[in-house]
Amino acid sequence: MSTLLEISHLKKYYTTTKAVEDVSFSVKEGELVVIIGPSGAGKSTVLRCINRMIDATDGSILFEGKEITTIKEEKSLKLLRRRIGMIFQSFNLVYRLSVFQNVLHGRLGYMSTVDSMFGRYSEEDKKKALEILDMIGLKENIYKRAGELSGGQKQRVGIARALMQEPSLLLCDEPIASLDPSSSKIIMDQIHKMSKERNIACIVNLHQVDVAKTYADRIIGIHKGRVVFDDVPEKLTDDMIERIYETPIAELTVGLEKGQVS
């Protein structure tokens, strides 16, 4: 497996906050990497620097062998973003549009401005969208408005849309934070399947350490904008979890349970 993404000494400062101090790690093709860490540790900022939703303050990000922190032209950014899919905690779907249309949006990065304005998708794209929706178990719902779906179904539409992009990397920012346990399992199973069957590298930000341990090839622990752990799940000890979260394990468990109830 060759290296797909290599982040070196990434730094992101805001006027009042040092969101990311010093983050370095690499991701191989098809690898499923989970980033854990307390709220405010900088996990989301790292993902947003990778797809250039925000600009890094310093450091380097090599993606498919190219430095991407310095890309300026819109055309090159469009090329970059279609190789990087993203799914969000809040799904980011267009709720008034159908499931089918939302999934087709994954092809926009491949179309001319005029074709995308008028929604002129090719027959090939439509066929592909149907195949993906069938694979992900949403074929019965294709003409439903996305807003009518359950949370778990909405996230499956998010995954289907990302798959339409044919990405080599998928960034997942807290993909199960709004879901119940059974929907969470379906979503994590799908992300795992994408990584292994389609060789798509996935970086998943998660709060739940147990879920991270179940699905990750590798876990990265971030604390106050720095990587403090980067290894296989088996090496993540309770001591290390306490260090990452700066909280005793017992309190952490209670905290998570409280979080689920509220």
- Is residue 206 a contact partner of residue 4, using CB atoms and an 8 Å limit? no
43 near ligand ADP, rule: CB under 6 A:
yes
| 149/191 Cα distance (integer angstroms) | 19
Q: By CB under 6 A, what part of segment 44-63 binds ligand ADP?
A: 44-45
Instruction: Write down the least CB distance from residue 224 to ligand ADP, Å.
Output: 9
Which listed residue (5, 7, 30, 37) binds ligand ADP by CB under 6 A? 37
Q: Which helix (H) or strand (E) holds 253?
A: helix 249-261
| 179/60 Cα distance (integer angstroms) | 34
Which listed residue (27, 32, 34, 41) binds ligand ADP by CB under 6 A? 41
| 103/93 Cα distance (integer angstroms) | 9
Q: Any idea what the Cα angle at residue 167 is, between residues 49 and 159, rounded to 5°?
A: 90
- For ligand ADP, which is the closer residue by CB, 79 or 240? 240
113 near ligand ADP, rule: CB under 6 A:
no
- For ligand ADP, which is the closer residue by CB, 126 or 226? 226
40 near ligand ADP, rule: CB under 6 A:
yes
Assign 111 to helix, strand or coil.
coil
Which listed residue (1, 8, 9, 17) binds ligand ADP by CB under 6 A? 17
- For ligand ADP, which is the closer residue by CB, 52 or 128? 52
For 38, counting Cβ atoms within 10 Å of its Cβ (0-12 exposed, 13-18 middle, 19+ buried), the class is: middle
Which listed residue (7, 19, 99, 170) binds ligand ADP by CB under 6 A? 19
| 157/49 Cα distance (integer angstroms) | 24
- For ligand ADP, which is the closer residue by CB, 55 or 148? 55
Where on the chain is the footprint of ligand ADP (CB under 6 A)? 14, 17, 19, 37, 39-45
